Chain A
Amino acid sequence: MVRAVRADELAPSTGAWQVEATGLRVKAGSRLAVDGLDLTLGPGVHGLLGPNGAGKTTLMRALGTVIRPKGGRLHLLGRDVTDRRSLRAVRARLGYLPQMFGFYPKFTVRDYVEYMAWLREMPAAAVPAAAQRAVDRVGLTDRADSRLKSLSGGMVRRVGIAQAIVNEPDLLLLDEPTVGLDPEQRVEFRELLRDLGDTSCVLVSTHLVEDVVAACGDVLLVDQGRLVFRGVPADLARLGAHDGAGDSAAERGYSVLLRDHRSAA
């Protein structure tokens, strides 16, 4: 006998976009740092650029479900995160490296990464292997059992990246991940980013235009809490070919974009 199929059985279980924000408003302290931002992000590596105080970190914190938006609509991985009941399921598939990456100095690298994997509710049997893999991927294999307080700033940053990718997240948020990394590590990190972007949605907030050009599939520019430009890295180079201030074509393109936006506003 043929069974009737209900409409909700055919509905997609996840949204088309990993991040879907409409009219998003988020407060940082008493100031509205993100004010009416519209954004949709799919798989790939997205670079988030903007001047200091543009609302990049506040946006990252809202996407990381650390703070609640004051208004607007925010769907992550197909679920409405302004509804507290859906937070747990979304957070298990989320990876987040905050700008201020605090840590417990007495933990070893492995302890910390395993702890974060446990907090993200990975199955207990999968945690040790996943932690080892994450530590390997950021190049800290030989320091895996060192305490965090004995590591240099760049290494701590890499531990931060390792904890963010340990659960193979579908949505990965990295806030200033390249701070403190030496040039060689930055090249390796870009390689890792491209690798991660194949399967998941990666949002990298940075003010290093060269990182965005080298590793990101598209560029987002925010200013005063709004998305003011979206394009591909080549657009930056094209805009900066003959105009603007900066040392490379992409940097000049960035300054041209910002200037044009401000003069229009």
Chain B
Amino acid sequence: MTAHVPAATLTAYASGDLGADDAMAWPVEAHLENCPRCQDRLAELVTGPVQEILAVARTAVLAESRSGPRPARRRRLRRLSYRWLSPSVIPWALVTLIAVAAAFLLDEAFSARSSVVLLLAPVAPLSGLAVAWSRRWDPAWETVSGTARAGLDLLLRRTVVILLTVLPLLAVVGWRVGANPALWLLPCLTFTAAALLLGGLIGVSRAAALIGAAWMLAVALPALVMVRLPVLVQPESLRGWAVAAVALAGLVVLRAGDHRQHAGRN
């Protein structure tokens, strides 16, 4: 709008001298509808009765807006938690916490024996992965699994949360028993990647259970019985762990699509 309403015309309009049938009235109104500046000028010009009507209308509008339903409260924390956590996260977190604490106490009590913390580190995230995307542990699995974010998106978010819980825990315990950080970090990441990779083929729960059991039976149990730290958790094998972690992580990214639909029998 370039031309505003001239002052004289606006005064005439405000006082009612410019009647509804006057040809001048409609261009004035058409302009006023879209021009805040002229609206302000008009508001200063209107007389008593019109101002009263406006005041009544304003009160009524405000009362109406207050008596409607209250807007629902936004609960950001809740929303964040259900987007990132698996529904059965609390039992899992407790189990992991107790296992790591027990391993730490064993190491403290019998420092001559092989380090239980290092033997436990690779399988620490697996119990979390087992419940992260599982039909049995998620009551709404059937409903959720047919949605766009099902599988891949949810699984990766939950894996991130699991690692963010497990790694600091292991860091504290590892530091207290004086272990080389790479010795628990690399196996931990390798096993997570392996469970995700195998999980794309047979289901993450099954994969986590299988890998965890294999490690426990083949490595951890013999080590505890023979009271000797196996070569797998000695600094010599760090190079091997690093290669495995990188290779498996790469394969996980390549095979990410496997998680879109639940694998195995349903």
Contacts and interface: CB of A to CB of B under 8 A. Distances in A.
Nearest to B78: A111
B143 A163 contact: yes
Given A66-B142, A102-B139, A104-B139, A119 B261 contact: no
Chain B residues touching A, majority SS: loop
A123 interface: no
17 contacts: A29-B265, A61-B266, A84-B258, A91-B146, A91-B147, A94-B147, A98-B143, A102-B141, A102-B143, A104-B139, A104-B140, A114-B79, A116-B147, A119-B150, A121-B148, A128-B72, A132-B72
Nearest to A122: B148
Contact of B262 (A66, A91, A104, A107): A66
Task: Identify which of A87, A96, A132 gathers the most chain B CB atoms within 10 Å of its CB.
Answer: A87
Interface string A99-125: 011111001001100111011110000
B82 A65 contact: no
Nearest to A100: B142
A180 B260 CA distance: 32
Contacts of B257: 84-85
Interface in A76-91: 84-85, 87-89, 91
Contacts of A88: 148, 260
A119 B72 contact: no
Interface residues of A, number: 42
B139 A66 contact: no
Contacts of A29: 265
Interface of B: 72, 75, 78-79, 82-83, 87, 138-150, 154, 257-258, 260-262, 265-266
Contact of A68 (B79, B87, B261): B261
A208 interface: no
B87 to A, nearest CB: 6
Nearest to A163: B143
Interface of A: 27-30, 61, 64-68, 84-85, 87-89, 91-92, 94, 96-98, 100-104, 107, 110-111, 114-116, 118-121, 128, 132, 144-145, 160, 163
Task: Identify which of B144, B148, B150 gathers the most chain A CB atoms within 10 Å of its CB.
Answer: B148
Contacts of A132: 72
Contacts of B265: 27, 29-30
A84 B147 contact: no
Given A91-B148, A91-B150, A111-B78, A67 B266 contact: yes
Given A107-B82, A119-B149, A84 B261 contact: yes
Contacts of A128: 72
Nearest to A102: B139
A212 B104 CA distance: 63
Contacts of B78: 111
Contacts of A103: 139-140, 143
B188 to A, nearest CB: 29
B87 A104 contact: yes
Nearest to B141: A102
Nearest to A64: B146
Contact of B148 (A64, A66, A101, A120): A120
B8 to A, nearest CB: 47
A145 B143 contact: no
B198 to A, nearest CB: 17
Contacts of B260: 84, 87-88
